Amino acid sequence: MLEFSVLILFPLFCTGVCYLLKSIRTQYIISMFVSSFHLIFSLMIFIGWYEPNLPFFFSTDSLSKLFLLVISNVYFWVVLVSFSYLRRPALAKSEEGKRYYFLLLNFYLFANTAAILSNHFGMYWVAAEATTLSVAPLIYFYRNEEALEAMWKYLFLVSVGIAFAFIGILFLILASKGTILEGHQLFFSEFVKKAAVLNPVWLKASFIFIFVGLSTKIGIAPMHSGDVDATSNAPSPIAALMSGSLRITALLGVLRIFQIVSPTSTHEFAKTILVIGGLISLFVAFIYMFKVNNYKRLLAYSSVEHLGIIALGIGIGGIAFIGAMYHVIYNSLNKMVLFFTAGNIHRKFKTREVSGVTSVLNILPLTGWMFLLSFFAISAIPPFGIFFSELMIFQGMLFSDKPWILFITMFLLLFIFINMGKTIFQMLYSKNENEEILLEKEKFEIIHFATIVILILLIAIAVISPEILRDNILNISKDFGIKL
Amino acid sequence: MELTTFVRGIISLLVVLGFAPLFAGLVNKLKAIFTGRLGAPVLQPYSDLKRLFRKETINANSSSFISVISPTINLVAVVIAAAMLPIGFERPLISFEGDIILFAYILGLARFFQILAAMDIGSSFEGMGASREAAFAVFAEPIFFFTLGSIAFISGLTSIYEIYHSIRLDNVTYIVFIIVCSISVFILAVTECSRMPVDDPKTHLELTMIHEVMILDNSGVDLFLYQYSSHIKLFIYAILETSFFYPFGIRSYTVAIVIFVVVITALSISLAIVETITSRFKMKSIPHYLLFATAIGILNLLIYTFTV
Amino acid sequence: MDLLFYALVVQIASIIVIASVRNNHKASAAAHLLLTAGLVLGLSSSFPALVFSNSSSLNFSSLLNPANIFRFDSLGLFFLNIIQLVAIPTTIYSHSYLRHYIDEGKSVTSNFIFFVLMIVSTQVVVIANHAILFLICWEVMSTTAYLGILFEKEKRDVQTGSFYYLAVSHVAVFLLYIFFFLLHQQTNSWLMSDFHNLQNTGSLFILLYTLGLTAFGIKSGFMPFHFWLPRAHPIAPTIFSAFLSGIIIKMGIYGIFRTYQFFNYAPEWLGWLVLGISLISAIFGVWYALAQHDIKRLLAYHSVENIGIIGIGIGVGFIGSAYNSLPIQILGFGGALLHTLNHAIFKTLLFIGSGVIYQNLGTRNIESMGGLVHRSRYFFILFLIGSIAISGLPPFNGFISEFIIFNGFFTTAKELKNYYPLLMIISAVGLAFVGGLAVACFTKINSIMFLGTERKEIKKFHISNYEYLSLSILAFFCVLIGVYPQPFIGIVNKVLNNGFVTANHSSELLNINWLFISIIFIALLAAIILIFFLKRLIQKKYGKRISAPWGCGYEGLNYRMQYTASSYADELNEIPKSILVYHKKVQSPKGIFPAKGSFESHSVDLIDSKILLPAFRSMSKLICRIKFLSYTDIRYYIAFILITITIYSVIAFLWN
Amino acid sequence: MVFIQSCSHSIIQLMIGNFSVLASLGYKLIKNIMQNVLSILFCLSLFYLSVTSRVKAYVTVLQFQGVLLTVLLVFPFIGHFSIYALILPATLFFVKVILIPKYIKKIILDLDIKRTIEPTIQQITFLLIIIFSMTIIFIISNVLSKSTDIETIPFASGFTAIAVGIFVIIYRKKLIVHVAGFLVLENGIFLFGTAVASELPMMIEIGVLLDVFVVVFLMGIAINKISSTLSGFDVTALGRLKD
């Protein structure tokens, strides 16, 4: 029960506490407390120092352990920088938003953890929808037109999408009709064990609906729009949260159904669908990169691109699957840095238009360098982690039965890199003609500290390559029936 | 290297150095005769050199040390090139595998410094000459490789001495090949030594000159060195030409000297004839002329490769 | 070899020094000192390793080298030596270079850090044995070089130029990914030492070879992949452009050698392909150079030319390999290796020289220079040595390597007979042509920059002792390798015997009499000096004076009447006008009282401006027209869900 | 209209067919009949939805559907009644029949939204689209029911409701109508769920209901904000976010 209370009940409890407390500082302290506890616990569970035994619809396996650590980590950093973010002066309009900020964050943590630890599709669905609900008001944090529109679009699209995922779950029930699985109430663990008996027609339908439905949340094209709108208009910690953990939570649902599909005859079909989704995502990002004018949107599209790569990796299987798992970790870390630094840039320049941002490296040297480095990191330049994970995915692609995918991917990635680089470098280097920007020295804030630590983490995980992580990922791939 | 070979090599070199101005004088004399003039005596170049030697040296006030060392380098480079040439059947002073490359490149060194020295003055006349020299030299070098080089490639030998020794005049195709080669070398000589129709050494209009305009600001010993090295250079090409017709099988001094004198004279006559009957090309058409020579080389080579 | 490891540590330590010390000047001095010490230490460990010991016995102690991720074979050590040798003078120069910026109040810390990281990662690239380590260092090298280029990042051309570089590196590394994956698949190992004898890979063979050669060829700047060099080199800070041109593009050559080593065999068509591309690179590289007025851009094109010359050597070596002919391989590869060393030396010399000029005059346009020889004669002499060397003229090092390559041509013709002599003559003529153009080009820059009179007023022209020192070191090697090539030939021989040709160790670079060449060159130098002094004596006797130059009777000669670089090269540039994209703007004086006339010439890169950019522009225009998938209306978003589900269902329906 | 007639005729045929086959099965039969009848009613409400042009009618339809679903849920417990089993239907009734419609009505009143729905295509076309998709869904369901044990009519009706919900969203401009469309979709899923089986545990079902309610609640707030800040009630007000 300890783990259950720390991971799930405690955040829920703190949601209530935050509602009662007026002082944002106290809320922050409590949230910090919750998040650090959560992180420590996730880490302990991950390392194996603590063997969790969860009640009701919850349980853990290698996959959820890994994802729990990822989201917990993202959440921790987001909460850490949130307070300094909220104290920024330019947020007069969003006093109301500040009041509910930590409350919603705590609720988000609760919902997210519940989703990840759930062992039941119904539970997963409820929790995943709850994450949408907790994030939607946070998107509207700025209280302006764009944020409102983004929130509406996100809320609506994701709700519809997730409703489709529910249909998919119902199809899964149908698939189990007349088999020994009937009446097992949609527990993953049961389904995975005896997946072979499932009716293939309904299984396919189920996979399609769940994948497409959750795609709205993951941001797989062509259902990426709501996600992109939301990520690009949310405050940067929230954007980081969405890119780094919310998408991952949704991805978990797809992985679950994929895991069920794995031992069946539908496997190849599911893989093909994932590959198609991944390629379309890459293509969408590729198109967008030719006409960028909003740098937060750029980052949101970069998320679409990378989730696309992950989907590709999962779809290709083999070593690419392992690469995709690594990519999940690295991408979530990397996106945090990108969004944090983008938030700093936004604060200084007060615009999201690329054309309005100039000479970041001179005006905000620290942020600028971090931004540059994280761009390198996201472009798979070593020694940052994404290099390694992408390498594995590429390798998997090349030796799959469809090596041409690699060439398409590389072509698209190359142009994404070129165009993204063009935009980002323009922001970083071009001469400053905006007189209003004050040239004061950038202060070292907690957000800088966070970005530096995360970047170091990004290198360290890749270079040190902890045994425990590798074993875990190998276990996951074993669960998915992947032969290496 | 044996001492006697060394001594003979030295003697060959001295022959080249000694007779170089004579050849220039011979050409000038013949040319004068063909144009109906009396002309200066054959030994006039010697007197000229002697005169220059004793003159005061004047350097331009904008010039640098390049102008000072360039004549020296020029002479040394040309002399080293001359030391690689076989006179008669004797092994030259410098002869090793691959000396043909050194030969071409050492002349390139001389040219490099001559151009620099010309540009050193900072006058547009010298600049003009230097620019032309650089441009034409670019085309001259391929011609060299198409002629002498082609024989080297065909025979598989890379030393000038051995290359000439490999020439066999008993094959008809080979004779044709050699004759066309010699035409190419002739064109090369005309270009490199700034003779008609590429350049007019006797003109007095700065705008139309190549070689002469480059040394416009030199005098005294500097001019002496330049003139002397240009004589040597002309003679080098003459020897290159001569050696095509030299029967290397016969090792007799008498025959050697006779043939040498005869061929050199014939060459100077033909040079004089060409200089008499042609006029200088327009500057713009000189590259075409050189490309024409290159084309001859390629054609020649094709004929040879596919018939022999 | 642990010493090398410590040397790398010392080099990296210089980062800490510069980052931690507050006083800028002192920090910079200390850091440079430390870096130089580290490099010298490295050289002192890698040079004996290359020359004296048997490379198979070299290794880090096992603690530092888990799973054999490093290795020290002769090829790697050879390149390691080149890197360190060139890095030392560059570092020395860097000290005085960065001091200027410190004086201006600009922070140089980051730039120095990138410099160090670049040097270190480049060194690790050549000793890396594990393919992934190789790729990592390769990328770190490219990225730090990119960051270093960005020193004056506010400038527009710096942004584009550096970006070209980055994008091209990215393409290259993508190809390398595939290359190494395939090698890994073939050999089931990630260690380069296990990649060998791959000629039996069947259909993959051609793919592998082309991949490797293309990827590394892009990096080294063979045509048509050269376009990034003239973009990136001019805008980089001098220390980086020197290192880029001197070393980093050589890493591509290193890669090509390694690729060959993996297969240990090259088919003949490949030899011809490489030879052809290299000849084109060499000829048009130098021709493009001739049309430039920006000194660094010009030198960048010369890098293309020299890479072409190296490639010619490699091509000859490939042909030798195809026919299993030892002498051809030795001459071809040997010439290429030696030229790699030589080019690293003289190109660094020239780039540093151009950097010194740029720093003093504030311009890279040679048209506005002139008469610098009167400011500093010794500087000119050093620059001149580099120029003569790069033109391949005796008695300096450039000649030696070109000489070997020429010999390679001769030997190929001799060994293979048939139609080979003809093809070899054409190649030789091509190389000779390149030499001629190089002479034209370097006489142009030397005379326009240094000789004549000053075209623009020069406020100050100061060259520090560090700059002299670094230039002198490089010039010393130019002369040394030129005049006394034997030991260097010996090293090249060793490298060849230890990695390429399976011959016995006694095979010298054939029957070339290097001693003879040394004697000739020494005689040449001696004779020049002798005659020079004789001339002095004569002049003392007959008099010597200085006077105004001859102006056809016109007395008012001034600096504007000098020949310009444009006019100088015009005649030659006219010939391949369309390839050079050579434009002229002529305004000739007309009438009785002529107005001001002018003449300008420009050349832009054909691949860059006529193919690449238009292609990219039309592509982005086309793609921007795609409105699909970018609607703003939420109803479309919902419709997409429906459509996607329908399509997927149809796929499911059709699925067997 | 002829088409509708023939369509409904076939549906009734189908229903009667089931009726006669299952006549001997007692309780299960009654359940089946009721399920089918309710599903048909559900479908009819969908037709009404597609031809009406009043916003309030949407709310009424939602209420009606809520009642149908409640009945559908209560029905199985007629035989063995328990308070515990009534929690879910009660919640459903509360949420879908009382809370949400009231809330939507309040929004409509508060914001003074125009009563007509401002369709983007003609009503008749919309109806045709719905009939077309409905036919396809019924045919597919019929085919599928041969291989799996599913109740064709509730299954198909549920699916039709999902399709109608989507079409309402796609072809209507008003945001409040979008919300209604979303709710129709949810109702469809619910109906569909009951057709599939009552596999889901009650906790989860209630969670789902809560989620739906909160979604609608948040949407309501958002519409409020949109009308105040963007001064518009339909999608044309939402066009700021572009690539």
Interface test mutation site (partner C, options A149, A395, A441, max chain C beta carbons within 10 A): A395
Per the structure block, which two tokens stand in for C377?
């004669």
CB within 8 Å of C497: residues ≥ 6 apart: C74, C503, C504, C505, C507
Cβ contact, residue pair D239, C639, below 8 Å: no
What pLDDT sits at residue A481?
84
- Give mean pLDDT, residues C178-200: 83
Query: If contacts are CB pairs under 8 Å, which of residues 412-441 in chain C contact chain B?
Result: 413-414, 419, 421-422, 424-425, 428-429, 432-433, 435-437, 439-440
Neighbours of C3 (CB within 10 A): 15
Residue C416 has pLDDT above 70, yes or no: yes
The answer to ipTM > 0.90 is: no
Give the CA dihedral C354, C359, C365, C370, nearest 10 degrees. -80
* Closest by Cβ to C634, choosing from D166, D171, D238: D238
List of chain D residues whose C-beta atoms are within 8 Å of the C-beta of residue C641: 166
Return the pLDDT at C505: 46
* Angle of the D27-51 helix axis to the D55-74 helix axis, nearest 10: 170
Token duo for residue B270: 């033909």
The answer to whether C644 contacts A212, with C-beta atoms less than 8 Å apart, is yes
Touching chains D and B? (3+ Cβ pairs < 8 A): no
D147 close contact with C: CB closer than 8 A: no
* B233, B238, B242, B244: CA torsion to nearest 10: 70
A466 and chain C: CB distance < 8 Å anywhere?
Answer: no
Count of Cβ atoms closer than 10 Å to residue A476 Cβ: 22
CA distance B21 to B38: 19
Q: What gap in Å lies between CA B215 and CA C484, rounded to an integer?
A: 34
Q: Which of A285-294, C314-323, D67-76 has the lowest mean pLDDT?
A: D67-76
| Residue D148: φ, ψ to 5° | -125, 155
Can you tell me whether residue D234 is helix, strand or coil?
strand
Q: What is the pLDDT of residue C497?
A: 82
Q: Tell me the pLDDT band of C506, cut-offs 50, 70 and 90.
A: very low
How far apart are the C-alpha atoms of C489 and B100, rounded to whole Å? 20
Q: Give the C-alpha separation, C398 to C346, whole Å.
A: 8
Residues 6+ apart with CB under 8 A from C43: C81, C84, C85, C88
Residue A58, beta-bridge partner list: A118
D137 touches chain C (CB under 8 A): no
Sequence-ordered list of residues with C-beta below 8 angstroms from that of D94, at least 6 positions apart, any chain: none
Residue listed under structure tokens 């083999």: A318
Q: Residue A27: which of A99, A89, A81 has the closest Cα?
A: A99
- In angstroms, the separation between the Cα of residue D167 and the nearest Cα of chain C is 8
Judge whether residue C216 has pLDDT over 90: yes
**Which residues in chain A land under pLDDT 50?**
none
Task: With CA atoms as reference, report the closest residue to A162 among A119, A219, A99, A213.
Answer: A213
Predicted pLDDT at A241? 92
Chain D residues whose CB is inside 8 A of the A170 CB are 189, 192-193, 196
B67/B64 Cα distance (integer angstroms): 6
Whether residue C66 is preceded by a cis peptide bond, meaning omega within 30 degrees of 0, is: no
B149 closest CB neighbour out of C425, C520, C575: C425
Answer left, alpha or beta for residue A353, where phi above 0 means left and psi between -120 and 50 means alpha: beta
- Closest-CA residue of B relative to C373 is B64
Q: Which stretches in chain B have pLDDT values below 70?
A: 1-2, 169, 201-208, 247-250, 305-308
Residue D6 is assigned to a structural domain of this protein: no
The predicted structure's pLDDT at residue A239 = 92
**Among candidates A161, A286, A429 on the partner chain, residue whose Cβ is nearest the Cβ of C641:** A161
- Decide: B220 and C542 in contact? Cβ < 8 Å: yes
pLDDT of residue C215: 93
Residue A240 is inside which H or E element, if any? helix A236-241
Place D26 in a pLDDT band, splitting at 50, 70 and 90: low
Q: Residues D216-221: contacts with CB within 8 Å, 24+ apart?
A: D216/D100, D216/D103, D216/D104, D216/D179, D216/D182, D216/D183, D217/D103, D218/A133, D218/A136, D218/A137, D218/A155, D219/A152, D219/A155, D219/A156, D219/D175, D219/D179, D219/D182, D220/D103, D220/D104, D220/D107, D220/D179
How would residue D12 be classed by pLDDT, with cut points 50, 70 and 90?
low
Q: How many CB atoms lie within 10 A of CB C417?
A: 11
Retrieve residue D65's tokens.
Answer: 């559907």
> Would the CB atoms of B145 and C447 count as touching at under 8 Å?
no
Determine the structural domain holding residue B254 and report its residue range. 3-307
Residue D158 lies in a domain: yes
pLDDT band for position D78 (50/70/90)? low
Mean pLDDT of C313-335: 90
For C654, residues 6+ apart whose C-beta sits below 8 A from its C-beta are none
Residues contacting A121, CB < 8 A, separation 6+: A169, A172, A186, A188, A256
Q: Do B134 and C439 touch (CB under 8 A)?
A: yes
What is residue D1's predicted lDDT score, i.e. its pLDDT?
47
d(CA C21, CA C113): 14
A partners (3+ CB pairs within 8 A) are C, D
Which 8-state DSSP code applies to residue B206? G
Looking at A315-319, D27-31, D35-39, which range is the least confident one? D27-31
Q: Is the model's pLDDT at D195 over the cut of 80?
A: no
Question: Do A136 and D214 lie within an 8 Å CB cutoff?
Answer: no
Tell me the C-alpha distance between D56 and D117, whole Å: 9
Domain extent for D179: 41-234
Cis before residue B197, ω within 30 degrees of 0? yes
Q: B58, B62, B78, B212: best mutation site toward chain C, by most C Cβ within 10 Å?
A: B62
Count up the domains in chain D and report the number. Answer: 1
Please report the number of interchain residue pairs, chain C to chain D, with beta-carbon separation below 8 angstroms: 24
Total of domains in chain B: 1
pLDDT at D128: 87
With touching defined as 3 or more inter-chain CB pairs under 8 Å, the answer for chains A and B is no
Whether residue C273 contacts residue C209, with contact meaning beta carbons closer than 8 Å, is answered with no
Residue D22, pLDDT > 70, answer no
Strands C544-547, C582-587: pairing kind: unpaired
C533's tokens: 């002094």
Q: What span, in angstroms and rounded, lies between the C-alpha atoms of A438 and A440?
A: 6
Give the residue with greater pLDDT, C1 vs C395: C395
DSSP one-letter string for C88-103: HHHHHHHHHHHHHHHH
CB contacts, 8 Å: C549 with chain B: 60-63, 121-123, 217
d(CA D89, CA D78): 13
Extract the tokens encoding C644: 């996607």
pLDDT of residue B197: 76
pLDDT of residue C413 exceeding 70: yes
Closest residue of C to D167, CA-based? Answer: C639
* Residue C261 pLDDT: 87
Secondary structure (DSSP) of B43-84: THHHHHHHHHHHSPEEEETT--HHHHHHHHHHHHHHHHHHTT
Tokens matching residue A92? 């007069």
Residue ranges of the alpha helices (H) in chain D?
A: 2-21, 27-51, 55-74, 83-92, 100-111, 123-147, 152-171, 175-196, 202-225
Question: Residue A186 class from Cβ within 10 Å (0-12 exposed, 13-18 middle, 19+ buried)?
Answer: buried
Residue D177 lies in a domain: yes
